[in-house]
Structures are given as structure tokens and as C-alpha cells.
């Protein structure tokens, strides 16, 4: 019953209020018909475009009675903002740290739940970027993870200094909490403070974001240079070499 003038714009609001951490799917269907009830003279034939045939309503005389627009809607629930994880290392040192993250409210399908036991664990191969959680039965949960940066400048600064690998996880089916354990490597070359976001997505539905703060403190003193005076109002010179670690 919405009347639309020629070249007029119509906004269609879509509200999403997920109750659980799972994938939601819907379809928005828009039907347009002439206000005077007449048909469009265009006739849909067997030679017409397949997509067009699917998106029109044909009257008895073969003319076009209505036009359909179909928009699939995929809803992905996102968990509330998590607390920041701080990774601190002294400049010119290398830190290897295990970080434990909790994913609350994981909702596998009915066929994905293990038949026995209340938890499931698995080790992940180094090359796996889509690790699975399994207890050896048919129950399987897959997770995708990505480290996102606030800007290209921060990406350029951190990408070569930070490494992350998912090494272990545990799934408690009673509390629906998945524990992911990451091995984080941080090797800063100079003092800095940068932020990134670890985004984790479950293929069964749900998105979790964990802010990461990387802090590199002042490095240790390389050496102490002592300059001995040769006399008043006379210059004393000491030479030392500096080597650049990059090109």
C-alpha cells in the first residue's frame, strides 16, 4: 500500500535483534504494481532472461502484472566488546606468549553436539587458518580468525612484528563456552604502542572481537661512552659505529 512517485526514493528499515549466537537468514521481498491496476505491456516469453522470469508476476494475457525485488538478508550476531589484551615486550627483544580467549554462547547445530562428555579438545596444525573443534566424533566447529588494524600505517608498523597462531582449544558443551589458546609472538625493534583487533568468527554463527594492545618498552642500554678531557677548552673525540638493521 505504499505509493511511490516517479524517481522517488524509499527507505526500507531492517531491524536485527539476535537472541543467540547463530546465523540468521531472511528475505526482503518488494512487489511493485501500477497504481491504476493496469499491466505493463511487456510479455514474458520462454526466450526472456531467466532472472527476469523469476522476478515478475505474469497476468493471464501474458502481460506483466507486477515486478519483484528479492534481497537476501544474512544476520551475524556480534558479542559485546571484550576487554583489551595487553602484550608487552622490551624493544629489541622477542616475546612468545600464550593468550587464552573465551567465546561465550557458541551455538552449534543439533547434529554438531557431541554424544558423550562435556568438553572437546583438539590440537591444530601450523598451516591451518580455519581450525576445527572436535572430540573425535562427528561434532565439528570451525573458526576463522583475522588480525585487523585501525589504519594502513599501523598495519605496516605491526605486520612484520607480530605473529599469531591458534594452537589449542576446548569446548565445554554444558556452558557453551569455547576456549581458544593463541600463541602470540611480538618482536619490536623500537619503543612503540599500537592497537589491533582480533576478529573471530564461528561458521555456525557468531562474531567475537578482542582488542589487542602491543606495547614495546625502552630497550636496554647498548653501551656507556666515556670521553676523557685532554685539557680545558680543548676538544675530545670518541668514535663509535652504528649499524642499521633494515635497508
Mean pLDDT for the stretch of residues 54-75: 84
How many angstroms separate the CA atoms of 194 and 158, rounded? 8
Residues 94, 199, single domain; the answer is: yes
Residues 158, 60, single domain; the answer is: no
The more confidently predicted of residues 59 and 154 is: 154
Q: Is residue 37 part of a domain?
A: yes
For 174, the domain range is 85-108+141-217
Residues 64, 150, single domain; the answer is: no
Q: Is residue 36 part of a domain?
A: yes
CA distance readout (Å), 201 to 23, 119, 151, 168 = 11, 20, 21, 16
Residues 97, 28, single domain; the answer is: no
Return the C-alpha cell found at 192. 612503540
How many angstroms separate the CA atoms of 167 and 171, rounded? 14
pLDDT-wise least confident of 104-108, 119-123, 220-224, 232-236: 119-123
How many angstroms separate the CA atoms of 134 and 141, rounded? 7
Q: Is residue 160 part of a domain?
A: yes
Residues 90, 192, single domain; the answer is: yes
Cα three-residue angle 76-79-83, rounded to 5 degrees: 150
pLDDT tens figures, 88-118: 999 999 999 999 999 988 876 533 433 333 3
Residues 104, 32, single domain; the answer is: no
Q: Is residue 57 part of a domain?
A: yes
Residues 92, 210, single domain; the answer is: yes
pLDDT band with cut points at 50, 70 and 90 for residue 49? low
Q: Is 166 helix (H, G, I), strand (E, B) or coil?
A: strand
Q: Is residue 14 part of a domain?
A: no
CATH of the domain at 193: 2.60.40.2310
Q: Is residue 39 part of a domain?
A: yes
DSSP code per residue over 128-157 = -SS-EEE-SSS-EEEEEEEEEESSHHHHHH
pTM for the predicted model, two decimal places: 0.68
Amino acid at each position: 500500500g505504499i505509493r511511490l512517485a516517479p524517481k522517488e526514493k524509499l527507505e526500507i528499515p531492517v531491524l536485527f535483534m539476535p537472541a543467540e549466537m547463530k546465523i540468521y537468514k531472511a528475505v526482503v521481498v518488494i512487489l511493485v504494481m501500477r497504481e491504476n491496476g493496469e499491466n505493463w505491456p511487456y510479455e514474458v516469453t520462454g526466450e526472456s532472461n531467466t532472472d527476469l522470469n523469476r522476478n515478475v508476476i505474469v497476468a493471464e494475457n501474458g502481460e506483466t502484472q507486477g515486478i519483484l525485488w528479492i534481497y537476501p538478508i544474512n544476520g551475524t550476531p556480534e558479542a559485546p566488546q571484550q576487554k583489551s589484551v595487553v602484550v608487552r615486550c622490551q624493544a629489541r627483544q622477542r616475546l612468545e606468549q600464550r593468550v587464552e580467549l573465551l567465546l561465550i554462547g557458541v551455538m552449534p547445530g543439533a547434529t554438531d553436539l557431541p554424544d558423550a562428555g562435556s568438553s572437546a579438545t583438539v590440537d591444530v596444525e601450523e598451516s591451518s587458518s580455519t581450525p576445527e573443534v572436535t572430540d573425535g566424533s562427528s561434532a565439528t566447529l570451525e573458526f576463522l580468525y583475522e588480525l585487523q588494524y585501525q589504519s594502513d600505517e599501523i598495519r605496516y608498523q605491526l605486520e612484520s612484528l607480530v605473529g599469531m597462531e591458534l594452537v589449542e582449544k576446548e569446548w565445554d558443551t554444558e556452558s557453551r563456552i569455547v576456549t581458544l589458546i593463541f600463541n602470540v609472538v611480538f618482536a619490536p625493534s623500537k619503543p612503540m604502542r599500537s592497537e589491533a583487533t582480533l576478529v573471530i568468527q564461528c561458521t555456525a554463527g557468531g562474531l567475537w572481537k578482542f582488542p589487542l594492545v602491543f606495547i614495546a618498552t625502552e630497550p636496554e642500554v647498548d653501551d656507556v661512552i666515556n670521553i676523557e678531557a685532554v685539557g680545558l677548552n680543548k676538544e675530545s673525540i670518541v668514535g663509535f659505529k652504528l649499524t642499521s638493521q633494515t635497508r
